[in-house]
Structure formats: C-alpha cells, structure tokens
Chain A
Amino acid sequence: MSVHASAERVARPRVVGGHLERTLWTLVPFGAALLAGALVLLLSGRDPLVTYALLVEQAFGGHIAIGNTLAQTTPVLFTGLATALAFRAGVFNVGVEGSLYLGAFAAAWVGFTFVGAPGPLLLLGAFGTAGLAGAAWSFLPGLLRARWRVDEVVTTLMLNFVAINLTSYLVNGPFLAVGTANSMSPLVDPAARLGSLIPPSQVSIGFVLALGMALGFGVVFGFTALGYELRVSGTSPRFAAASGISIFRVIVVAMLISGLIAGIAGAVQVLGVNGRFIDRFSPGYGFTGIAAALLGRNTALGCVLAALFFGALSNGSAMMQLFTDIPLDLVNVLSGTVMIFAVLDVARLRPRRLREAG
C-alpha cells in the first residue's frame, strides 16, 4: 500500500550483514545537500568551508547554541514521528500540520482560560486537550479512507488549510488577546509553561517528551501487538487482511495516534516556547516532519537524527546571519536538497549502479 515503504524494502535484497552499508547510504542525502550548498556558496563568492564552520558553531557551539538547536529539533521530531507512524501503517497522513495547529490552539485555550488552576492539573489538561484535538482532527480523513477509500493525501492536505484558517479565525476573533492588534491569544498561565531544559536557551522539557515519544514509538513497533498490526498492514495489507487484522481499525487507529502526537507537538510549542497561540506560528513543522520521516526511514532513531539535522540547520542558519551576510536561500537549498534526496530514496538507485559498475 505504501509505495515508499515497499519500494524501499524491495531495494534491499540482502538485509543481513548490510547494516553498516545501509547506514552509510542513509547519509547520502545529507552529503549531497552539503555539496549542493557548497556549490551555491561558491557561485555566490563565499567560502563554503568557512560558512559551514560558522553554521556548525552557531548550531552546536556551547550549551546555549545546543539548547536552541534542540528547541528547533523538538517540533520536527514530534511531527516526524507522527508522520512516520502513519506511513508505517500505510496511511499517507500529510495532515500533521493541521493537527499541530489544533493541538496548539487547544493547549493555549486551556492555558489562558483556566488561569489559577494548579500547575500539574493545568499541564495535564492542556496536553490532554491538545492530544484529543489533534486526534479528533485526523479522525475524519481516517474514517473516510478506511470506510470509503477516499484518498487521505487529498483530505489531510486540504484539512491543513482548514485548520490553519480556523485557528486564525479563532485567534483573530473570539480569542484575540485584549489590547493587541496582532493575531495572538492571551499568554497562558505561567504555571502551564514548560520549564527550560538548558536555561537561558529556548529548549524546554518538551524535548524530553519528544525523546520519550520516540522511545515509545520504537517500543510500540518492536514489542506490541498493535505495532505488529500497524507494521504488517503497512507493508502487506492483503496479508494482514487475510490474517484477520482489521485494516479499517488499523487506518483509523494510525490516524488517531498520528493526530494525537501532532496535537502534543502543538502543545509543546505553545507551552514550551511561544507561551501563547500565535496565528500561523508554524513555519511548516508538519511538512518538515514528512521530510524527517522519509529521511529517517520511518524509524524512531532515524526521525531523531533527521529532526536534529533540521533543527541544527534552522538554528544555525538563523544565528549565523548575525555574523555574516548569508542569504536565507542557502538554507532553502540545503534543506531542499536533503528532502529531494530523501524522497528519491537513493537506496533504490543503488543496485543498478552497482550492477553497472560490476
């Protein structure tokens, strides 16, 4: 069912003993991206090595830089996992962005509405509501796909725009912060804020939650009956169906969990970083999450590494602009190249090339 996943599997006839080789091939998109970026830098008259050194320094030089990189990693890790979970189950959920917005708004709403409630209760309520909102948002496309085979790529994509505009309306209308002309909700109760992990950097304990989510993701797919059902339905849907696994249930459950993770991502962003819901706050975390899932081969560890890459790129490139006139376009070239290669799936090209060589 999943074109990508099955093609990727087909591409690896020898799985045994190919671990190192496979890991190396996974690195190819990154290498290609750096090369493409270097070319752009050279063409614009800049020294690639100096520029990359600055990028790395700004992304990882010191605990604050690392903290800020992790802060940028967090939302992408969540959305990457949300996407990967659906992809593993053979559901092309590209609506993580929409669930993220709903979750973010829900968390903010709890945070600024129940001001004064005990902190733990507030946090629990905010996260719970955010998760529910995210899951609810992805329920409909899941149901449509499972029951009537409506293409989920189309529905989830469309619902993203609905979610962004719906929350925009809410925050411009009924929930606009008093006294501001700009579209944002009031600040949430400080008790609902997630503390900083590495003060004074921006990384909150939301990053720990994201890592926990990644761990949970690995556990579900490696050690649970549910993970087995999702996995098998994704790679061999007819085998799963003939074995008695309800594909209907798998699709709906995968979409619900995916939406739930995305909703929590929104909550972490609101409670951990922004402190409020801001209209159109996401620069496309959900879509970067798709790239992270593809790059990470839909595995937990892969998602962590890919999210870290995007986080470092985002943080490093923003900060380095303080020290050099680097066009933002370079960042687009770098992340764009990585994503193209991730989607192309270099592993598929490998056997042919080897054959030609030999």
Chain B
Amino acid sequence: MTADIAITSRSVPAAAHLRLEGITKRFGSVVANEGVDLKVAAGTIHAVVGENGAGKTTLMRIVYGLERPDAGSVEVNGARVEMRSPQVAIAHGIGMVQQHVQLISGLTALENLVLGREPSRLGAFNAAAARRQAGELADRLHTRIDWYAPVERLSVGHRQRLEIMRLLYRDAGLLIFDEPTTVLTPGEVDDLFAVLRSLAADGRTILFISHKLREVLAIAERVTVMRRGRVVATVESRGTDAGQLARLMIGEAPEPVRATGEGATVARRPPRDEAALALEGCAVDGPGGRRLLDGIDLAVRAGEIVGVAGIEGNGQRELIDIVLGMRRPRPGRVTLGGRDVTHSGVRARRRLGISYIPEDRNVEGADLAGSISTTAICLRYDRPPLSRAGILSLGSVRAFTRGLIERFGIVAAGPDAPMRSLSGGNAQRLVVGREIDASSRCVLAAHPTRGVDVKGIAFIHEQLLRLRGEGTGILLISEELAELFRLADRIVVLYEGQIVGEFARDAVDIDHLSRLMTGVETGGAAA
C-alpha cells in the first residue's frame, strides 16, 4: 500500500519527546498497529489522523500503558521505557484525556483534581492549599470553574478542562487527547484549542488524535496519517492541505464494481419508483442541545440500495434509531412504504417489514446469554406457529431455528446450543438470515460486514443484492468505501449529522467524497 506520497517528514528537531519504533499490536487475527514509527518533538502539537479503526487509539493506549505492544519500543526523552501501566506513563510525565472523561461523580471538581495526590498538612487534607493550587491552574488555562460543584454538574467542556488540569496538577509534560472535540460544541472547541496552544507555548507537548481534518490543520504543527494500522505519512501542516490529507486517510479509490465482475452475478434491475423508506426533515437533538442529526431528507426506493458514507460518530447511530423506531425525530417524518410510522414503535415497524442488520451483532443482533433459538426467534416468537396464546411451542421453535440453520448454511450444534458457541461468521449469518427471512420491505444494514471473514462478506453481499433484485429497499451504512461502491446505487455522505453530498453510482468522485466525509469541504460549498 505504498502510495506515491511526495511529502515526507522533514527532519524532526533533535529533542524528540516521544519516539515510537516498530510498534506492532494484534488482537487475535486483527492487526491494530503494524510497524508504527512516530516521533513527536518537544513543545509541539502533533496530530495523528485516520479513519475509525485505523489504529490511532490503540497506538495511544500503548503509549499510555493501557495496552502492551507485541513488538516495538517506546522512548521518552531519549530513554526507553516499558509502559507496563498508566502509572508508569504518569511517572514519565505522560497524561491522557480519553474520549469519555474519567472523573468520579459525587466528588467535587476540587476533590477530583487532587484525588490520589492530596496536599496535606500534618497528615490532614489541606483544603486551602488544594484550592490555591487549583486556582493557579485555572488561571493558567484562563478558565473559571466552580471548584465546589459535584463534577456531574459541570458541562462537558468544563469536565474536559478539569481533566486537563488534573494532568497538569500531576506535572504531565506530554498530553494525549483522544478525539477531544467529538463531545464539544463549536464554541467549546475554540476554547479547547486556545488551551492547547497555551500549553504548547508553555513547553508542553500535545499529541492530538482526530479524524476531523479542518480541526487538525487549525491546531497541529505536524500531522501523522494512519491507515489500516500503519503510518502512511507525516507532514507539516503548513505544507499540506485537507484534500491531500483526506486522500491519504481514505486511501485509493477502490474500483467500483460495475456491471462486470462479481457484482454482475446478480442481475441489477433499475429501482422501482415507489419509496420503501423515506425520511423528511428529520432532526435529533443530543444532550446539551447539540444537534446530532439535522434536516435529513432521504428516500430509499424499492429495489434500490442507498449507501450512507461517513466516518462513524457523525449521526449514523441516530439515523439507525429514527429509522428503526428506537427514537422519534424532532422534528421530522418517517414513512415506510408510504405509511407514516413517525410515531410507531420498533415492533410496529418490524411488522411493516423493516429488517435490521445491526452494527454490533453481539449487542443488538443476538442474545449471547441464550441459545441459538433465543436469537433466532426474536421477530416471530409471539405469533403462530412459534407461540399460541402466549405459550411457546418448543417444537416449533426448534424447527424454525433448524430451518434457518439449514437454509443459511450455519455451522451449529443445534437450536439449543449456546449462541456463544457460534463463530463470528456463523453468528452473523444467523442474524442476517433471520432478518431477511422476514419478508422485508426495507433493510437497514449498519456495517454489516464488520468483523466478518471473506466468506461471510460474500454471503452478506450476495443476500443484499438478491433482496435488492426482489424489490427491497436497502439503506446501507458503512465506512468501507469499497462496500458502498460495490453495492450502492446511490451514496449520500453524512457529516456532523447532515447529508452533505450525494453521488449517483456512476458519478462518484473519490476526492470529492473523501473531502466531504472529513469535513474539509462542506455540502454547501460542494453545491
């Protein structure tokens, strides 16, 4: 995957605060990091960018001692360190602000700040000293904070600020931020950046993980791009632009499968003109009034696959929720086969023929504590032949499950075997089989091939294309551009809760698409 990258890193100044060499980390058969080299100069803001799953977070967890690498070394200020635990990292002046802030609710801001290293006088907690030091830290960050408020009453931005202060209180010289802006409002992001700049000016080193390229270019001096566990480039931010970073991040455009190749085995009929699923002006507000989804207008016609491209966390979850009926859009309207289901629950929509292949089958697709039957019957247990008058017919349940096992070639000991005993691929076959077995008008598929082997992927793609041919509308949410190119008739791009662009299957411009996905270019600008 050696791309023709012209920009190589210029010589890093001698004082490398952190140096990683040949870091490799595997989780089972998944390679999270492979031979990663990284140098971070002291007193700089250094960003690591990449799509979700590119290995950024794993790398940072290794630096912070939360994971041990299978190979490679970590050097801090020129000395090799075994990062056995976060304690070791902290002792070497490394601190990490994780995505979800790790504060203890019930304690005040001040108590959280000093917890574990309380100033004491004559063996007793010296509250005055703690308060004084807290005040100095807050001044340094130009922040006001209510030190006596329980942390759960602070805003997300303030909690993050408090966590930064905790690190400074422990004298961290290298601060790692894992996607710090995803939980913040735009105003809070600006404040955070001001804080980061002042920290760097103070001589501290900042390592900043993100997939939002505009932000990265605004704050970092140097940017390392990761893709599929490897470092593909390290560039000076002044010498690059977002488009180039986006291309590095997303990689080469996979050859869309057109009417030839594997995809052609299933005949593609043009979509019919009736809407299987339609969303009109749908919005969802998150906690604190942040818009998680905004003004979504989207229609999936019968016999059409609409792909939703976008980096995770840009409203995909909320989109799933409003389509499935787990959440009501406010405002907005959802119709299924022309019927208004905005106010219907999940069960009613399921009855109307919506199928769901969830992003995480272990959580939403299966009951790992139960038998295979338990997972298999979840859409039909309450109706004949599986049950009558509320009484399950165990014979019918087993027969039904056996039917799925046979029809979809699932390797299983039998209907009563534990769900946990199925391999990932077989479990996914069961879930997909169950969902498409119901006569579906519309399939909602979220990352349907994540964590599935090649054979499984082929099976799932085949099923989706078959359904498409039978006139089912499919909404396919995926990060795998290859998957989208291969299956979708149309691709829309979701960025920060909005649809920022749409491409017909024959007119995909990979550059344009990746710029939209990473927010380099807004939908408005594209139009």
Chain A interface (Cβ < 8 Å from any Cβ of B) = 5-6, 9, 13, 15-16, 223-228, 231-232, 235-236, 238-246
Contacts and interface: CB of A to CB of B under 8 A. Distances in A.
B417 A16 contact: yes
Contacts of B345: 244, 246
B368 A9 contact: yes
Contacts of B363: 236, 238-239
Interface string B340-383: 00000111111100001010000111111110001101110110
B73 interface: no
B143 interface: no
A35 B59 CA distance: 49
Contacts of A6: 369
B374 A232 contact: yes
Given A243-B378, A246-B345, A224 B367 contact: no
Nearest to A9: B369
Given A235-B369, A244-B351, 19 more contacts: A9-B368, A9-B369, A13-B420, A223-B391, A224-B390, A225-B390, A225-B391, A227-B392, A228-B374, A228-B377, A236-B363, A236-B369, A239-B363, A240-B367, A241-B346, A243-B378, A244-B349, A244-B350, A244-B378
Interface in B370-417: 370, 374-375, 377-379, 381-382, 387, 390-392, 394, 413, 417
Given A232-B370, A241-B326, A243-B350, A224 B378 contact: no
Contacts of B358: 242
Interface string B194-233: 0000000000000000000000000000000000000000
Nearest to A242: B364
B324 interface: yes
A228 B383 CA distance: 13
Contacts of A228: 374, 377, 381, 392
A224 B365 CA distance: 21
Contacts of B375: 239
Contacts of A15: 418, 420-421
A9 B419 CA distance: 12
A223 B346 contact: no
Contacts of A238: 363-364
Contact of A232 (B348, B378, B418): B378
A274 B368 CA distance: 46
A223 B73 CA distance: 57
Nearest to A231: B370
A242 B365 contact: yes
Nearest to A234: B369
A226 B374 CA distance: 13
A17 to B, nearest CB: 11
A219 to B, nearest CB: 9
Where chain A touches its partner, the secondary structure class is helix
A15 B417 CA distance: 9
Nearest to B364: A242
Nearest to B347: A244
A70 B374 CA distance: 36
Contact of A223 (B348, B367, B392, B420): B392
A225 B369 contact: no
Interface string B482-503: 0000000000000000000000
Nearest to A233: B367
- Which are the 5 A-B pairs with shortest beta-carbon distances? A244-B347, A235-B369, A243-B378, A9-B369, A236-B367
B418 A239 contact: no
Contact of B326 (A5, A223, A242): A242
20 contacts: A13-B420, A15-B418, A16-B421, A224-B387, A225-B381, A225-B387, A225-B391, A225-B392, A226-B390, A228-B392, A231-B370, A236-B366, A239-B363, A239-B366, A242-B356, A244-B347, A244-B349, A244-B351, A245-B347, A246-B346
B346 A242 contact: yes
A235 B370 CA distance: 8
B418 A16 contact: yes
A246 B347 CA distance: 8
A299 to B, nearest CB: 13
Given A225-B390, A236-B363, A243 B369 contact: no
A238 B358 CA distance: 11
Nearest to A237: B363
Contacts of B356: 242
A224 B392 contact: yes
A166 B6 CA distance: 80
A101 B363 CA distance: 39
Nearest to B358: A242
A242 B364 CA distance: 6
A232 B351 CA distance: 19
Contacts of B417: 16
Contacts of A242: 324, 326, 346, 356, 358, 364-365
B346 A244 contact: yes
Contact of B394 (A9, A223, A241): A223
A64 B336 CA distance: 67
Nearest to A15: B418
**Among B358, B377, B378, B421, which residue has the most Cβ atoms of chain A within 10 A?**
B378
Contacts of B382: 225
Nearest to A236: B367
Contacts of A224: 387, 390-392
A231 B377 CA distance: 13
Given A15-B418, A225-B387, A239 B392 contact: no
A241 B295 CA distance: 26
Interface in B312-348: 324, 326, 345-348
Contacts of B421: 15-16
A259 B392 CA distance: 25
A225 B350 CA distance: 17
